[in-house]
Chains A and B, each alone.
Chain A
Amino acid sequence: MFPAFAKYRQSFLIGLQSNLVYRMNFAVRGFFSLFHLAVVFILWGAAYSHNESIGGFSFGQTLTYFLVMLVMQFFVGAFNEDYQISEEIRSGLINQFILKPINYFSYRFSIFLAARFVTGALILIPLLVAVPLLKDYLTLPTEAWRYLLLAPAMMFSALIQFSIAYCFGMLTFWFLEIQGFVILSMAIESLLGGQMFPLDLLPAWIFNAAKFLPFYYQTYFPTAILTGRIEFAATIQGFGIQLLWVLVLLAVNQLLWTRGLRRHTAVGG
């Protein structure tokens, strides 16, 4: 148990170093996310100018939702893990993992955690600018259970995020180029993951259907818990479905890995 832990601790530390190399890149991305917040503020501000509430929520609550969603993406979202995995398969770098006593999924996941450690820290910088500017609008519920359940919801969300990215990376065993699939899935994720608008504004039947898809549990679920858009009973039910998706995706990952390796021709390395 412990030697295994030490192994992945090392890969976590390597991941930390390699992600720090790209700190500038993440910082620029964080800076531009402030512009996204400005779009949200202007668009929803104009929509709220004739309405006290939209979907039962005030302007402040909607703005808080988008801010938390943004922070959540930097803490649990997959950035370019799919491309990194794809590149390792295509270039043959993956061969070394087949020969060594290391689990590729765990290795990549430890690097993913390190990357989120870096991006999570970096988003705090633009947040220092955004929060004072928006402080009059921001409003969070006070129930303690929301804060207690946030951490496990985020942990499972990170697992789902990474697993989906890993699945797309695995597709490289079958397709040379995965960028098209990834960007297509980004469109679906941004819609059904609640990045474009709070999902509860969708017609009820679509919203209820979305609850059974994994995208709902990527960023919307933890964001909804923290911003008061979901009640306790629905949260507990949500945890059940989220856990189920974690298990399903882990199984799919394992299947794609074993099936993919059968097709792998180990060029280079």
Chain B
Amino acid sequence: MTKYFQIWLASARYSITRTLMFRFDFFLWALVELFWMGVNLLLISVIYEHTDSIAGWSKYEMLLLVGTSLLVQRFLMGFFWSSLFEMGRNIKSGAFDFFLAQPGNILFMASTRKLDLDGLCNSLVAMGVVAYAAHRLNLHPSALDLLLYAVMIFCGLIIHYSMLVMTISLAFWITSAQGIEGSYFTLAEFSRLPREAFKGISSVLFVWLLPVVVVSNAPAQILLHGFQPAWVLALVAATLAWFATAVFVFHRGLRRYASASS
């Protein structure tokens, strides 16, 4: 465990040094993420110009939900995105050999190689959005609620990570697929919607089968309505199930990896 933490620290140090070398890239990407977050917040703002409620959620409740969803996504971007994005490319090019030769867990080594500081910086902006919405709603969460919120965000991060690992692992089977990781963003869109908006088959599919809705709704519910055992249990169960499935899919895919032709 300590060994892996040290490896992660070494990767983090390397990423920070790299960011300091390419400062313009850092500012540009931070701006890119900030813009995308702004686009999502503007969507909420425009809809609430024309209505008072979406599935019973007021404007600032919705802002808190979207902020929470963006927070999980920023953490994913900051901690894992670059490494997993490169993993997809490396599987196709054969450069994935490099990770197979390393003395450590392959999935860990491949998914923690790079840290994106721009994503991590923007997670502060997402936290600001959540705090602003909580302030407008006059919420005063207890320390325990905040701790639970953090745990829920962590679970959400693991679920998003697992979904992304599974999407990228498709490259083991479909080698001609380019940009397949973009489909993750489509699924992530659901996490910005309130649970109550899902009815019938969409509820079965996106709330129960895919955990995208629970990921953001469970932590948001804690801030809005305090500790709710059902939401917490659902999220922890989903986290364990999805992480186990992702590890399984990745290793099944790894069996098909044929390295490069040359």
Are these two chains actual partners, yes or no? Answer: yes
Residues of A whose CB lies within 8 Å of any CB of B are: 21-22, 24-25, 28-29, 32-33, 35-36, 38-39, 41-51, 54-55, 80, 177, 180-181, 183-184, 187-188, 190-191, 196-197, 201-203
Residue B53 CB within 8 A of the other chain: yes
A28, B178: Cα distance in complex, Å: 10
* List of B residues within 8 angstroms of A22 by Cβ: 176-178
Residue numbers of B with Cβ under 8 A of A are 25, 28-29, 31-32, 35-36, 38-39, 42-43, 46-47, 49-55, 174, 176-180, 182-183, 186-187, 189-190, 193-194, 196-198, 202, 206
Chain A residues with CB under 8 Å of B47's CB are: 43-44, 47, 54, 197, 201
Question: What are 14 A-B interface contacts by the 8 Å CB criterion?
Answer: A25-B177, A25-B178, A25-B180, A28-B180, A32-B183, A35-B189, A43-B193, A46-B54, A46-B197, A47-B47, A50-B52, A187-B38, A187-B39, A201-B47
Least CB distance from A61 to B in Å reads 14
Q: Name B31's closest neighbour in chain A (CB-CB).
A: A184
A42 to B47, CA, bound (A): 13
Say yes or no: A39 contacts B46, CB within 8 Å.
no
Q: Is the CB of B176 within 8 A of A25?
A: yes
20 other A-B residue contacts (CB within 8 Å) besides A35-B186, A43-B197: A24-B174, A32-B186, A35-B190, A39-B190, A42-B202, A45-B197, A47-B47, A47-B50, A51-B50, A54-B47, A54-B51, A177-B25, A180-B29, A181-B28, A187-B36, A196-B39, A197-B43, A197-B47, A201-B50, A203-B49
Interface of B, secondary structure class, is: helix
Does more than half of chain A's interface fall in helix, strand or loop, or is it mixed? Answer: helix
CB pair B28 A25 closer than 8 Å:
no
Write out the residue numbers on chain B whose beta carbons fall within 8 Å of the beta carbon of A42.
Answer: 190, 193, 197-198, 202
Contact yes or no, A80 B35, CB < 8 A? no
Bound CA span A190–B38, Å: 12
**Assuming A38-B202, A190-B39, is B182 touching A29 (CB within 8 A)?**
yes
Chain B residue at minimal CB-CB distance from A43: B193
Contact of B51 with A183 in the complex, beta carbons under 8 Å? no
Q: By CB atoms of chain B within 10 A, which of A25, A46, A183, A202 has the most?
A: A46
